[in-house]
Amino acid sequence: MIHDQGLSMFLWAEACSTAMYVQNRNPHKKMKDMTPEEAYTGVKLEVSHLRIFGCPIYIHVPKEKRSKLEPTGKGGIFVSYSESSKAYRIYIFGQRQIEVSRDVTY
């Protein structure tokens, strides 16, 4: 995934996390076309929130965190899903850091 998108190798942990997240939400033959998560919890999962690793994404910067002349959004690329909330982890090129977006509705 990293090589396909032309990203730096320091994002390997994010790529592994994303791969496992998606794999646990795909049906398997041995589980009679159920996902591992569905077999464990008994609840059918929603997958409309899934994104392509490395796709461009923008996050909103709230008024409290910017001045009047600064942009209202930041551009970056999608690298993973947040483990603690319903949010995305986004790599910001200019700052070379990963930020967590606000919660998204699944």
Residue 7 placed within a domain = yes
Domain assignment of residue 106, yes or no: no
Do the domain assignments include residue 105? no
Query: Per residue in 27-59, pLDDT tens?
Result: 888 888 888 888 888 888 888 888 999 999 888
pTM of this prediction exceeds 0.75: yes
Section 51-77 average pLDDT: 89
What range does the domain containing 83 cover?
A: 2-100
105 pLDDT above the threshold of 70: no
- Place 103 in a pLDDT band, splitting at 50, 70 and 90: low
Domain count, the chain: 1
Angle at 83 (CA atoms; ends 58, 59), nearest 5 degrees? 10
Per the domain annotation, does 44 fall within a domain?
Answer: yes
Q: What is the mean pLDDT of the chain?
A: 87
Two tokens, residue 93: 């090129």
